[in-house]
A and B are shown apart, each in its own frame.
Chain A
Amino acid sequence: DAGVIQSPRHEVTEMGQEVTLRCKPISGHDYLFWYRQTMMRGLELLIYFNNNVPIDDSGMPEDRFSAKMPNASFSNLKIQPSEPRDSAVYFCASSFNTYEQYFGPGTRLTVT
């Protein structure tokens, strides 16, 4: 298996633009997680899905952030409009039965 795949690996955008981050989980995994890592706050959970259904989105910072999982093979995280304080590394992870989570390589987002 190729592992969790994220795209793009790097994204540089201007404030106010829409940003879309994509994730393909490991085949057969039933949980998908979106995390954000910053120096100040460390690794924080934004939202997670079980069988494509959002279970907990309490970590989503504000309404500018949204995430969907239309099928078991794909999820996206959108930020609209983006702001400089959204600059961070965004990780997607997947797991089977809520035990070990397997992370993708991350997307480094820079909002100028």
Chain B
Amino acid sequence: DQQVKQNSPSLSVQEGRISILNCDYTNSMFDYFLWYKKYPAEGPTFLISISSIKDKNEDGRFTVFLNKSAKHLSLHIVPSQPGDSAVYFCAARRAFGGSQGNLIFGKGTKLSVKP
């Protein structure tokens, strides 16, 4: 049972345009959401996060939106740059329960930004 889903395995965008990566979750106990970026042969790198009490968090070119009623979050990259080409993972943290500390990851979306 996949609690965090990234339904698009890949996305291709032109340089300078907006990239929108989507993520859906099923567990209403999640209270904190994160996006990670991963380049080949490297570990995932933390990018941006959002608490469930907010609906938007912005950091430079990156903005994360959270729609709790739809159990949906998205990452917007504006403008997209070729260096943004990577695999992006969505992750969620449980607020309570036996596994409070761990993150549940989606399977990732490979973003390709073309010059």
Contact = CB atoms under 8 A, between A and B. Distances in A.
Interface of A: 4, 31, 33, 42-45, 48, 50, 55-56, 58, 91, 93, 95, 98-106
B103 interface: yes
14 contacts: A4-B43, A33-B102, A42-B105, A42-B106, A42-B107, A56-B98, A56-B102, A91-B44, A95-B101, A100-B49, A103-B44, A103-B45, A104-B43, A105-B43
Interface centre among B32, B42, B46, B108 (most CB of A within 10 A): B46
Contacts of B98: 56
Interface in B66-115: 89, 93, 98-108
Interface residues of B, number: 23
Q: 6 tightest A-B contacts by CB?
A: A103-B43, A42-B107, A98-B101, A43-B105, A100-B46, A56-B99
Contacts of A101: 46, 103
A91 B41 CA distance: 11
Chain A, interface SS category? strand
Interface in B2-25: none
A105 B45 CA distance: 10
B34 interface: yes
A56 B45 CA distance: 23
Given A43-B107, A56-B102, A103-B45, 19 more contacts: A33-B102, A42-B105, A42-B108, A43-B89, A44-B105, A45-B102, A48-B102, A58-B99, A93-B43, A99-B32, A99-B49, A99-B93, A102-B46, A103-B44, A104-B43, A105-B41, A105-B42, A106-B41, A106-B43
Contacts of A58: 99
A102 B41 CA distance: 15
A68 to B, nearest CB: 18
Contact of A31 (B41, B89, B101): B101
Contacts of B99: 55-56, 58
A85 B41 CA distance: 20
